[in-house]
Structure 1
Amino acid sequence: MREHEVGTQEEFEAARQALLVQEKELTRRGDELARKRRDLPWVRVDKDYRFETGRGTESLADLFAGRSQLLVYHFMFGPPYEAGCPVCSSIADTLDPNAVHLAARDVTLICSSRAPVDKLLAYRERMGWSFDWVGAGGGDFHRDLGFQHTEDELRPFLQGGIPATVSQMAEACGTDVLGYVTEGPGLSCYARSEGAVYRTYVTSARGLEPAMAYYGLLDRTPLGRHEEGEETHWLRRHDEYGKS
Protein backbone atom coordinates (compact mmCIF):
# COMPACT_ATOMS: atom_id res chain seq x y z
CA MET A 1 0.00 0.00 0.00
CA ARG A 2 1.43 3.37 -1.00
CA GLU A 3 1.93 6.19 1.49
CA HIS A 4 -0.87 8.74 1.59
CA GLU A 5 -1.75 11.92 3.42
CA VAL A 6 -3.48 11.30 6.72
CA GLY A 7 -5.86 13.89 8.17
CA THR A 8 -8.52 14.38 10.80
CA GLN A 9 -12.17 13.40 10.44
CA GLU A 10 -13.01 17.09 10.08
CA GLU A 11 -10.52 17.50 7.24
CA PHE A 12 -11.90 14.40 5.55
CA GLU A 13 -15.49 15.68 5.80
CA ALA A 14 -14.56 19.05 4.33
CA ALA A 15 -12.69 17.49 1.42
CA ARG A 16 -15.48 14.92 0.90
CA GLN A 17 -18.13 17.65 0.69
CA ALA A 18 -16.06 19.56 -1.87
CA LEU A 19 -15.68 16.40 -3.94
CA LEU A 20 -19.39 15.65 -3.63
CA VAL A 21 -20.20 18.91 -5.40
CA GLN A 22 -18.13 17.77 -8.39
CA GLU A 23 -19.60 14.25 -8.28
CA LYS A 24 -23.11 15.70 -8.46
CA GLU A 25 -22.07 17.87 -11.39
CA LEU A 26 -20.80 14.75 -13.16
CA THR A 27 -24.07 12.93 -12.42
CA ARG A 28 -26.11 15.77 -13.92
CA ARG A 29 -23.80 15.83 -16.93
CA GLY A 30 -24.30 12.09 -17.29
CA ASP A 31 -28.07 12.58 -17.27
CA GLU A 32 -27.73 15.18 -20.00
CA LEU A 33 -25.59 12.87 -22.15
CA ALA A 34 -28.09 10.03 -21.66
CA ARG A 35 -30.84 12.29 -23.01
CA LYS A 36 -28.67 13.22 -26.00
CA ARG A 37 -28.07 9.52 -26.71
CA ARG A 38 -31.81 8.97 -26.78
CA ASP A 39 -32.19 11.96 -29.12
CA LEU A 40 -29.77 10.59 -31.74
CA PRO A 41 -31.42 10.05 -35.15
CA TRP A 42 -32.36 6.43 -35.79
CA VAL A 43 -31.02 4.62 -38.85
CA ARG A 44 -33.28 2.07 -40.49
CA VAL A 45 -31.58 -1.33 -40.88
CA ASP A 46 -32.59 -2.69 -44.27
CA LYS A 47 -29.74 -5.19 -44.67
CA ASP A 48 -30.89 -8.78 -44.18
CA TYR A 49 -28.50 -9.87 -41.43
CA ARG A 50 -28.72 -13.54 -40.49
CA PHE A 51 -27.57 -15.16 -37.27
CA GLU A 52 -27.00 -18.71 -36.15
CA THR A 53 -28.70 -19.44 -32.83
CA GLY A 54 -29.47 -22.47 -30.72
CA ARG A 55 -32.90 -22.39 -32.37
CA GLY A 56 -31.64 -22.19 -35.97
CA THR A 57 -31.07 -19.25 -38.33
CA GLU A 58 -32.78 -16.01 -37.32
CA SER A 59 -33.03 -12.43 -38.57
CA LEU A 60 -32.13 -9.31 -36.61
CA ALA A 61 -35.83 -8.71 -36.00
CA ASP A 62 -36.19 -12.23 -34.56
CA LEU A 63 -33.52 -11.48 -31.95
CA PHE A 64 -35.80 -8.94 -30.23
CA ALA A 65 -37.74 -11.95 -28.85
CA GLY A 66 -40.99 -10.01 -28.94
CA ARG A 67 -39.69 -6.87 -27.25
CA SER A 68 -39.30 -3.43 -28.82
CA GLN A 69 -35.65 -2.82 -27.86
CA LEU A 70 -32.50 -4.88 -28.45
CA LEU A 71 -29.08 -4.45 -26.84
CA VAL A 72 -26.22 -6.36 -28.50
CA TYR A 73 -22.78 -6.82 -26.99
CA HIS A 74 -20.26 -7.64 -29.71
CA PHE A 75 -18.15 -10.22 -27.88
CA MET A 76 -14.60 -10.87 -29.15
CA PHE A 77 -14.77 -14.56 -30.05
CA GLY A 78 -13.60 -15.02 -33.63
CA PRO A 79 -13.69 -18.19 -35.73
CA PRO A 80 -10.11 -19.25 -34.81
CA TYR A 81 -10.54 -18.61 -31.07
CA GLU A 82 -10.60 -21.58 -28.72
CA ALA A 83 -12.07 -19.48 -25.87
CA GLY A 84 -13.64 -16.05 -25.52
CA CYS A 85 -11.63 -12.91 -24.84
CA PRO A 86 -10.96 -12.61 -21.07
CA VAL A 87 -11.90 -8.92 -21.06
CA CYS A 88 -15.14 -9.56 -22.93
CA SER A 89 -15.76 -12.44 -20.54
CA SER A 90 -15.46 -10.08 -17.58
CA ILE A 91 -18.01 -7.80 -19.26
CA ALA A 92 -20.35 -10.73 -19.84
CA ASP A 93 -20.13 -11.49 -16.10
CA THR A 94 -21.75 -8.09 -15.55
CA LEU A 95 -24.24 -8.34 -18.40
CA ASP A 96 -25.64 -11.78 -17.60
CA PRO A 97 -27.42 -11.04 -14.29
CA ASN A 98 -28.79 -7.79 -15.73
CA ALA A 99 -30.59 -9.46 -18.64
CA VAL A 100 -33.66 -10.31 -16.56
CA HIS A 101 -33.99 -6.72 -15.31
CA LEU A 102 -33.57 -5.30 -18.81
CA ALA A 103 -36.27 -7.67 -20.06
CA ALA A 104 -38.62 -6.19 -17.47
CA ARG A 105 -38.05 -2.82 -19.19
CA ASP A 106 -38.81 -4.16 -22.68
CA VAL A 107 -35.12 -4.69 -23.61
CA THR A 108 -33.67 -7.96 -24.90
CA LEU A 109 -29.95 -8.36 -24.18
CA ILE A 110 -27.84 -10.72 -26.29
CA CYS A 111 -24.20 -11.27 -27.25
CA SER A 112 -23.03 -11.69 -30.82
CA SER A 113 -19.73 -13.17 -32.00
CA ARG A 114 -18.29 -14.50 -35.26
CA ALA A 115 -17.32 -17.95 -33.99
CA PRO A 116 -19.60 -20.94 -34.75
CA VAL A 117 -22.61 -20.97 -32.48
CA ASP A 118 -21.82 -24.44 -31.06
CA LYS A 119 -18.47 -23.12 -29.82
CA LEU A 120 -20.16 -20.05 -28.31
CA LEU A 121 -22.79 -22.08 -26.48
CA ALA A 122 -20.20 -24.50 -25.10
CA TYR A 123 -18.19 -21.57 -23.72
CA ARG A 124 -21.37 -20.03 -22.30
CA GLU A 125 -22.01 -23.27 -20.42
CA ARG A 126 -18.46 -23.24 -19.04
CA MET A 127 -18.91 -19.67 -17.81
CA GLY A 128 -22.36 -20.30 -16.35
CA TRP A 129 -24.12 -17.55 -18.30
CA SER A 130 -27.70 -17.67 -19.55
CA PHE A 131 -28.03 -14.76 -22.02
CA ASP A 132 -28.78 -15.56 -25.65
CA TRP A 133 -25.61 -15.75 -27.76
CA VAL A 134 -25.71 -15.74 -31.56
CA GLY A 135 -23.14 -16.46 -34.24
CA ALA A 136 -22.71 -13.73 -36.87
CA GLY A 137 -19.73 -15.20 -38.68
CA GLY A 138 -21.54 -15.71 -41.96
CA GLY A 139 -22.40 -12.06 -42.51
CA ASP A 140 -21.25 -8.46 -42.21
CA PHE A 141 -22.99 -7.53 -38.97
CA HIS A 142 -19.78 -6.91 -36.99
CA ARG A 143 -17.89 -5.56 -40.00
CA ASP A 144 -20.54 -2.97 -40.83
CA LEU A 145 -20.32 -1.56 -37.31
CA GLY A 146 -16.52 -1.39 -37.25
CA PHE A 147 -16.03 -4.41 -34.96
CA GLN A 148 -14.25 -6.61 -37.53
CA HIS A 149 -10.99 -5.59 -39.22
CA THR A 150 -8.97 -6.83 -42.19
CA GLU A 151 -5.27 -7.63 -42.17
CA ASP A 152 -4.60 -4.65 -44.45
CA GLU A 153 -6.35 -2.32 -42.02
CA LEU A 154 -4.41 -3.76 -39.11
CA ARG A 155 -0.99 -3.71 -40.80
CA PRO A 156 0.17 -0.37 -39.27
CA PHE A 157 -0.70 -1.71 -35.81
CA LEU A 158 0.93 -5.08 -36.42
CA GLN A 159 4.13 -3.45 -37.71
CA GLY A 160 4.32 -0.96 -34.85
CA GLY A 161 5.25 -3.36 -32.07
CA ILE A 162 2.67 -5.53 -30.34
CA PRO A 163 1.86 -4.61 -26.72
CA ALA A 164 2.48 -7.45 -24.29
CA THR A 165 -1.15 -7.35 -23.17
CA VAL A 166 -2.35 -8.03 -26.73
CA SER A 167 -0.06 -11.05 -27.07
CA GLN A 168 -1.27 -12.22 -23.65
CA MET A 169 -4.92 -12.01 -24.67
CA ALA A 170 -4.31 -13.69 -28.01
CA GLU A 171 -2.62 -16.61 -26.27
CA ALA A 172 -5.45 -16.82 -23.74
CA CYS A 173 -7.90 -17.11 -26.62
CA GLY A 174 -5.89 -19.82 -28.36
CA THR A 175 -5.12 -17.76 -31.46
CA ASP A 176 -2.36 -15.53 -32.83
CA VAL A 177 -2.24 -11.74 -32.58
CA LEU A 178 -3.78 -11.18 -36.00
CA GLY A 179 -6.59 -13.60 -35.26
CA TYR A 180 -7.22 -11.85 -31.96
CA VAL A 181 -7.25 -8.19 -33.10
CA THR A 182 -9.33 -8.96 -36.20
CA GLU A 183 -12.22 -8.85 -33.74
CA GLY A 184 -13.29 -5.77 -31.83
CA PRO A 185 -15.64 -5.24 -28.86
CA GLY A 186 -18.66 -3.01 -29.02
CA LEU A 187 -22.23 -2.33 -28.00
CA SER A 188 -25.05 -1.60 -30.42
CA CYS A 189 -28.69 -0.78 -29.72
CA TYR A 190 -31.84 -1.22 -31.81
CA ALA A 191 -35.51 -0.36 -31.76
CA ARG A 192 -38.36 -2.14 -33.53
CA SER A 193 -41.32 -0.04 -34.57
CA GLU A 194 -44.15 -0.87 -36.96
CA GLY A 195 -42.27 -3.85 -38.36
CA ALA A 196 -39.03 -1.99 -39.10
CA VAL A 197 -35.72 -2.24 -37.22
CA TYR A 198 -33.64 0.86 -36.45
CA ARG A 199 -30.10 1.26 -35.13
CA THR A 200 -30.15 3.82 -32.33
CA TYR A 201 -26.69 3.79 -30.71
CA VAL A 202 -23.20 2.28 -31.09
CA THR A 203 -20.15 2.52 -28.82
CA SER A 204 -16.81 0.83 -28.15
CA ALA A 205 -13.54 1.26 -26.21
CA ARG A 206 -14.14 3.22 -22.99
CA GLY A 207 -17.76 3.63 -23.95
CA LEU A 208 -18.11 0.04 -22.71
CA GLU A 209 -17.05 0.87 -19.16
CA PRO A 210 -20.63 0.99 -17.79
CA ALA A 211 -20.64 -2.76 -18.48
CA MET A 212 -17.35 -3.17 -16.60
CA ALA A 213 -18.74 -2.67 -13.11
CA TYR A 214 -15.48 -3.62 -11.41
CA TYR A 215 -13.79 -0.47 -12.76
CA GLY A 216 -16.40 1.79 -11.21
CA LEU A 217 -15.85 0.03 -7.89
CA LEU A 218 -12.06 0.09 -8.18
CA ASP A 219 -12.24 3.83 -8.88
CA ARG A 220 -13.59 4.21 -5.33
CA THR A 221 -10.86 2.21 -3.60
CA PRO A 222 -7.59 3.61 -2.19
CA LEU A 223 -5.42 2.22 -5.00
CA GLY A 224 -7.92 2.70 -7.84
CA ARG A 225 -7.34 0.71 -11.00
CA HIS A 226 -3.61 0.53 -10.26
CA GLU A 227 -2.78 -0.63 -13.81
CA GLU A 228 0.03 1.80 -14.65
CA GLY A 229 3.22 0.08 -15.73
CA GLU A 230 1.82 -3.45 -15.67
CA GLU A 231 3.29 -5.66 -18.39
CA THR A 232 0.33 -8.02 -18.44
CA HIS A 233 -3.37 -7.44 -17.91
CA TRP A 234 -4.69 -8.46 -14.51
CA LEU A 235 -8.10 -9.60 -15.80
CA ARG A 236 -8.77 -13.32 -16.03
CA ARG A 237 -11.84 -15.39 -16.72
CA HIS A 238 -13.72 -15.81 -13.47
CA ASP A 239 -12.84 -19.51 -13.27
CA GLU A 240 -9.11 -18.82 -13.74
CA TYR A 241 -8.27 -16.60 -10.78
CA GLY A 242 -5.85 -18.31 -8.44
CA LYS A 243 -4.49 -20.62 -11.11
CA SER A 244 -0.75 -20.47 -11.81
Structure 2
Amino acid sequence: MTNPVVSREEWLKARKALLVQEKEETRRRDKIRAARQNLPWVRIDKTYAFDTPTGKKTLADLFDGRSQLMIYHFMFGPDWEAGCPGCSFLADHIDGTLAHLNHHDVTFVAVSRAPLAKIEAYKRRMGWKFPWVSSFGSDFNFDFHVSFTKEELEGGKVFYNFTEMSGDQASDELPGMSAFARDDAGNVYHTYSDYARGGEEILTTLMILDRAPKGRNETSTLSFVKRHDEYEDKAQPHSCCA
Protein backbone atom coordinates (compact mmCIF):
# COMPACT_ATOMS: atom_id res chain seq x y z
CA MET A 1 0.00 0.00 0.00
CA THR A 2 1.52 3.32 -1.08
CA ASN A 3 -1.27 5.74 -0.25
CA PRO A 4 -0.75 7.92 2.84
CA VAL A 5 -2.94 7.21 5.86
CA VAL A 6 -4.40 10.45 7.26
CA SER A 7 -7.07 11.70 9.66
CA ARG A 8 -10.73 11.83 8.64
CA GLU A 9 -10.47 15.64 8.41
CA GLU A 10 -7.49 15.49 6.03
CA TRP A 11 -9.23 12.82 3.94
CA LEU A 12 -12.36 14.99 3.65
CA LYS A 13 -10.30 17.95 2.45
CA ALA A 14 -8.64 15.82 -0.23
CA ARG A 15 -11.98 14.26 -1.21
CA LYS A 16 -13.62 17.67 -1.66
CA ALA A 17 -10.73 18.78 -3.86
CA LEU A 18 -11.22 15.69 -6.02
CA LEU A 19 -14.98 16.37 -6.15
CA VAL A 20 -14.27 19.69 -7.86
CA GLN A 21 -12.42 17.80 -10.61
CA GLU A 22 -15.17 15.17 -10.86
CA LYS A 23 -17.81 17.87 -11.34
CA GLU A 24 -15.67 19.45 -14.05
CA GLU A 25 -15.45 16.04 -15.74
CA THR A 26 -19.25 15.64 -15.55
CA ARG A 27 -19.87 19.04 -17.10
CA ARG A 28 -17.31 18.31 -19.80
CA ARG A 29 -18.99 14.97 -20.50
CA ASP A 30 -22.36 16.74 -20.85
CA LYS A 31 -20.85 19.07 -23.47
CA ILE A 32 -19.33 16.15 -25.37
CA ARG A 33 -22.65 14.29 -25.27
CA ALA A 34 -24.43 17.32 -26.76
CA ALA A 35 -21.78 17.66 -29.46
CA ARG A 36 -22.12 13.96 -30.27
CA GLN A 37 -25.87 14.28 -30.75
CA ASN A 38 -25.37 17.34 -32.96
CA LEU A 39 -23.06 15.57 -35.41
CA PRO A 40 -24.22 15.64 -39.06
CA TRP A 41 -25.53 12.38 -40.52
CA VAL A 42 -24.53 10.38 -43.61
CA ARG A 43 -27.20 8.54 -45.58
CA ILE A 44 -26.42 4.88 -46.24
CA ASP A 45 -27.16 4.14 -49.88
CA LYS A 46 -25.32 0.84 -50.06
CA THR A 47 -27.27 -2.35 -49.42
CA TYR A 48 -25.82 -4.66 -46.80
CA ALA A 49 -27.05 -8.20 -46.16
CA PHE A 50 -26.68 -10.01 -42.83
CA ASP A 51 -27.24 -13.64 -41.92
CA THR A 52 -29.60 -13.91 -38.95
CA PRO A 53 -31.38 -16.82 -37.22
CA THR A 54 -34.52 -15.85 -39.17
CA GLY A 55 -32.89 -15.43 -42.57
CA LYS A 56 -31.20 -12.68 -44.56
CA LYS A 57 -31.81 -9.13 -43.36
CA THR A 58 -30.74 -5.69 -44.54
CA LEU A 59 -29.35 -2.95 -42.34
CA ALA A 60 -32.80 -1.35 -42.29
CA ASP A 61 -34.33 -4.66 -41.14
CA LEU A 62 -31.99 -4.77 -38.14
CA PHE A 63 -33.79 -1.75 -36.63
CA ASP A 64 -36.63 -4.18 -35.81
CA GLY A 65 -39.28 -1.46 -36.14
CA ARG A 66 -37.44 1.15 -34.06
CA SER A 67 -35.88 4.41 -35.26
CA GLN A 68 -32.42 3.95 -33.70
CA LEU A 69 -29.89 1.16 -34.06
CA MET A 70 -26.68 0.56 -32.13
CA ILE A 71 -24.28 -1.95 -33.68
CA TYR A 72 -21.38 -3.37 -31.72
CA HIS A 73 -18.57 -4.47 -34.01
CA PHE A 74 -17.69 -7.70 -32.19
CA MET A 75 -14.26 -9.07 -33.05
CA PHE A 76 -14.91 -12.60 -34.33
CA GLY A 77 -13.28 -13.41 -37.66
CA PRO A 78 -14.42 -16.11 -40.08
CA ASP A 79 -11.50 -18.38 -39.15
CA TRP A 80 -11.58 -17.73 -35.40
CA GLU A 81 -12.67 -20.47 -33.02
CA ALA A 82 -14.06 -18.04 -30.40
CA GLY A 83 -14.93 -14.39 -29.99
CA CYS A 84 -12.43 -11.83 -28.72
CA PRO A 85 -12.07 -11.90 -24.88
CA GLY A 86 -12.32 -8.09 -24.67
CA CYS A 87 -15.46 -8.00 -26.82
CA SER A 88 -16.84 -10.86 -24.73
CA PHE A 89 -16.18 -8.79 -21.61
CA LEU A 90 -18.25 -5.95 -23.11
CA ALA A 91 -20.97 -8.39 -24.21
CA ASP A 92 -21.38 -9.57 -20.62
CA HIS A 93 -22.79 -6.10 -19.86
CA ILE A 94 -25.45 -5.99 -22.58
CA ASP A 95 -28.36 -8.33 -21.84
CA GLY A 96 -29.58 -6.36 -18.83
CA THR A 97 -29.82 -3.19 -20.91
CA LEU A 98 -32.00 -4.59 -23.71
CA ALA A 99 -35.44 -4.00 -22.18
CA HIS A 100 -34.51 -0.42 -21.34
CA LEU A 101 -32.98 0.28 -24.76
CA ASN A 102 -35.88 -1.28 -26.65
CA HIS A 103 -38.43 0.76 -24.70
CA HIS A 104 -36.42 3.88 -25.48
CA ASP A 105 -36.70 3.26 -29.25
CA VAL A 106 -33.20 1.77 -29.55
CA THR A 107 -32.27 -1.65 -30.95
CA PHE A 108 -28.91 -3.20 -30.08
CA VAL A 109 -27.28 -5.75 -32.40
CA ALA A 110 -23.79 -7.24 -32.44
CA VAL A 111 -22.23 -7.86 -35.86
CA SER A 112 -19.26 -10.12 -36.67
CA ARG A 113 -17.76 -11.61 -39.82
CA ALA A 114 -17.77 -15.12 -38.38
CA PRO A 115 -20.38 -17.39 -40.01
CA LEU A 116 -23.71 -17.46 -38.20
CA ALA A 117 -23.24 -21.07 -37.03
CA LYS A 118 -20.05 -20.10 -35.18
CA ILE A 119 -21.73 -17.04 -33.68
CA GLU A 120 -24.72 -19.06 -32.48
CA ALA A 121 -22.48 -21.72 -30.91
CA TYR A 122 -20.36 -19.17 -29.08
CA LYS A 123 -23.44 -17.24 -27.98
CA ARG A 124 -24.85 -20.43 -26.44
CA ARG A 125 -21.55 -21.10 -24.70
CA MET A 126 -21.56 -17.62 -23.16
CA GLY A 127 -25.27 -17.68 -22.30
CA TRP A 128 -26.07 -14.36 -24.01
CA LYS A 129 -29.49 -13.30 -25.35
CA PHE A 130 -28.79 -10.11 -27.32
CA PRO A 131 -29.23 -10.17 -31.14
CA TRP A 132 -26.03 -11.13 -32.96
CA VAL A 133 -25.78 -11.43 -36.74
CA SER A 134 -23.15 -12.31 -39.32
CA SER A 135 -21.79 -9.95 -41.97
CA PHE A 136 -19.86 -12.80 -43.62
CA GLY A 137 -19.55 -12.09 -47.34
CA SER A 138 -20.56 -8.45 -46.88
CA ASP A 139 -18.48 -5.27 -47.13
CA PHE A 140 -20.06 -3.93 -43.94
CA ASN A 141 -17.11 -4.49 -41.58
CA PHE A 142 -14.62 -3.23 -44.12
CA ASP A 143 -16.66 -0.11 -44.91
CA PHE A 144 -16.86 0.72 -41.21
CA HIS A 145 -13.12 0.12 -40.75
CA VAL A 146 -13.21 -2.70 -38.21
CA SER A 147 -12.02 -5.52 -40.51
CA PHE A 148 -8.93 -5.54 -42.68
CA THR A 149 -7.62 -7.77 -45.44
CA LYS A 150 -4.22 -9.43 -45.34
CA GLU A 151 -3.14 -7.12 -48.17
CA GLU A 152 -4.15 -4.04 -46.18
CA LEU A 153 -2.29 -5.21 -43.08
CA GLU A 154 0.81 -6.01 -45.11
CA GLY A 155 0.55 -2.76 -47.05
CA GLY A 156 1.85 -0.74 -44.13
CA LYS A 157 -1.18 1.38 -43.18
CA VAL A 158 -4.81 0.83 -42.20
CA PHE A 159 -7.51 3.38 -41.33
CA TYR A 160 -8.84 2.87 -37.82
CA ASN A 161 -10.29 5.22 -35.21
CA PHE A 162 -10.40 7.99 -37.83
CA THR A 163 -6.68 7.95 -38.49
CA GLU A 164 -4.05 5.93 -40.29
CA MET A 165 -2.18 3.42 -38.18
CA SER A 166 0.60 1.00 -38.91
CA GLY A 167 -0.60 -2.33 -40.24
CA ASP A 168 1.67 -4.19 -37.84
CA GLN A 169 -0.18 -2.53 -34.93
CA ALA A 170 -3.57 -3.74 -36.20
CA SER A 171 -5.19 -7.13 -36.69
CA ASP A 172 -7.74 -8.52 -39.12
CA GLU A 173 -10.55 -7.56 -36.70
CA LEU A 174 -10.80 -4.56 -34.35
CA PRO A 175 -13.62 -3.36 -32.05
CA GLY A 176 -16.02 -0.45 -32.30
CA MET A 177 -19.62 0.69 -32.02
CA SER A 178 -21.71 2.50 -34.62
CA ALA A 179 -25.04 4.30 -34.36
CA PHE A 180 -27.69 4.56 -37.07
CA ALA A 181 -31.03 6.33 -37.47
CA ARG A 182 -33.99 5.49 -39.70
CA ASP A 183 -36.56 8.04 -40.82
CA ASP A 184 -40.24 7.53 -41.61
CA ALA A 185 -39.43 7.09 -45.30
CA GLY A 186 -37.14 4.16 -44.50
CA ASN A 187 -33.86 5.97 -45.18
CA VAL A 188 -30.96 4.85 -42.98
CA TYR A 189 -28.26 7.22 -41.72
CA HIS A 190 -24.90 6.66 -40.05
CA THR A 191 -24.78 9.07 -37.11
CA TYR A 192 -21.79 8.08 -34.95
CA SER A 193 -19.00 5.57 -34.41
CA ASP A 194 -16.37 5.06 -31.76
CA TYR A 195 -13.43 2.70 -31.70
CA ALA A 196 -10.60 1.43 -29.49
CA ARG A 197 -11.22 2.72 -25.94
CA GLY A 198 -14.06 4.98 -27.07
CA GLY A 199 -16.75 2.73 -25.65
CA GLU A 200 -15.32 2.24 -22.16
CA GLU A 201 -18.14 4.15 -20.47
CA ILE A 202 -20.62 1.36 -21.21
CA LEU A 203 -18.42 -1.11 -19.33
CA THR A 204 -19.83 -0.84 -15.83
CA THR A 205 -17.22 -3.25 -14.47
CA LEU A 206 -14.53 -0.71 -15.37
CA MET A 207 -16.54 2.13 -13.87
CA ILE A 208 -16.76 0.21 -10.58
CA LEU A 209 -13.06 -0.70 -10.66
CA ASP A 210 -12.19 2.96 -11.26
CA ARG A 211 -13.66 3.63 -7.80
CA ALA A 212 -12.03 0.65 -6.11
CA PRO A 213 -8.84 1.11 -4.03
CA LYS A 214 -6.57 -0.53 -6.63
CA GLY A 215 -8.44 0.75 -9.68
CA ARG A 216 -8.18 -1.38 -12.80
CA ASN A 217 -4.89 -2.89 -11.61
CA GLU A 218 -3.90 -3.80 -15.17
CA THR A 219 -0.53 -4.04 -16.90
CA SER A 220 -2.08 -3.07 -20.26
CA THR A 221 -5.62 -2.30 -21.40
CA LEU A 222 -7.93 -5.08 -20.15
CA SER A 223 -4.97 -7.33 -19.33
CA PHE A 224 -6.95 -8.84 -16.44
CA VAL A 225 -9.94 -9.86 -18.55
CA LYS A 226 -10.80 -13.42 -19.55
CA ARG A 227 -13.95 -14.92 -21.00
CA HIS A 228 -16.27 -15.38 -18.04
CA ASP A 229 -16.08 -19.18 -18.22
CA GLU A 230 -12.29 -19.22 -18.31
CA TYR A 231 -11.41 -17.77 -14.91
CA GLU A 232 -9.54 -20.39 -12.90
CA ASP A 233 -11.77 -19.97 -9.86
CA LYS A 234 -15.31 -19.00 -10.77
CA ALA A 235 -16.54 -16.06 -8.71
CA GLN A 236 -19.03 -17.14 -6.03
CA PRO A 237 -21.72 -14.99 -4.39
CA HIS A 238 -20.76 -13.51 -1.04
CA SER A 239 -22.09 -15.64 1.81
CA CYS A 240 -24.40 -12.83 2.94
CA CYS A 241 -26.07 -12.78 -0.48
CA ALA A 242 -26.17 -16.50 -1.27
TM-score range, shorter chain: 0.7 to 0.9
Amino acid at match of 2:120: L
Give the superposition deviation at 1:229: 6.8
Comparing 233-242 with 58-67, greater Cα deviation is found at 233-242
Matched, 1:114 2:113: yes
Q: Which residue does 2:240 correspond to in 1?
A: none
Q: Which residue does 1:10 correspond to in 2?
A: 9
1:203 aligns with 2:194: yes
TM-score (ref. length: structure 2): 0.87
Deviation at 1:210, TM superposition (A): 1.6
Aligned equivalent of 1:62:
61
Change (3 A) 1:190 1:88: same
- CA drift of 1:152 comes to 3.2
Give the counterpart of 1:192 among 182, 185, 189: 182
Secondary structure in structure 2 of the residue aligned to 1:94: coil
**Whose helix fraction is larger, Structure 1's or Structure 2's?**
1
How far residue 70 of structure 1 moved from its aligned partner, in angstroms, is 0.2
State percent identity of aligned pairs.
49
Q: Deviations over 1:61-84 (max 9, x none)?
A: 000000000000000011001111
Q: For 1:106 and 1:59, locate their aligned partners in 2 and report how far apart those are by CA, in whole Å.
A: 19
Following the alignment from structure 2 to structure 1, what is the Cα–Cα distance between the partners of residues 95 and 85? 15
Structure 1 residue runs of 4+, over 4 Å off? none
**Is the partner of 1:191 in helix, strand or coil?**
strand
Per the alignment, residue 215 of structure 1 pairs with 206
> What amino acid is the match of 2:187?
A
**Deviation by residue 1:70-113 (Cα, 9 ceiling, x = unmatched):** 00000001100111111100000012211221111000001000
| Unpaired segments ≥5 residues, structure 1 | 159-177
| Counterpart position of 2:39 | 40
Number of equivalenced pairs = 222
- Shift of the 145–234 alpha-carbon distance from structure 1 to 2, 3 Å rule, reads same
Q: Distance in 2 between matches of 1:97 and 1:79?
A: 28
Cα drift, residue 224 of structure 1: 1.2
What letter is aligned with 1:73?
Y
How far apart, in 1, do the equivalents of 2:4 and 2:14 lie?
A: 12
How far did residue 214 of structure 1 move? 1.6
Give, in whole Å, the separation in 1 of the partners of 2:36 and 2:104.
18
For 2:49 and 2:133, how far apart are their aligned partners in 1? 10
> 1:27 — aligned with what?
26
SS in structure 2 of the partner of residue 181 of structure 1: coil
Equivalent residue for 1:234, pick from 218, 224, 230: 224
C-alpha deviations, 1:46-69, integer Å up to 9, x for none? 100000000000000000000000
Match status 1:181 vs 2:161: no
1:103-150 deviation per Cα after TM superposition (whole angstroms, max 9, x unaligned): 110000010000011110111111111111000011111100110112
User: For residue 167 of structure 1, what is the aligned residue in structure 2?
Assistant: none
Higher relative contact order (CA 8 A, sep 6+): 1
- The answer to whether the aligner puts 1:151 opposite 2:141 as a matched pair is no
Amino acid at match of 1:52: D
The equivalent of 1:124 in structure 2 is 123
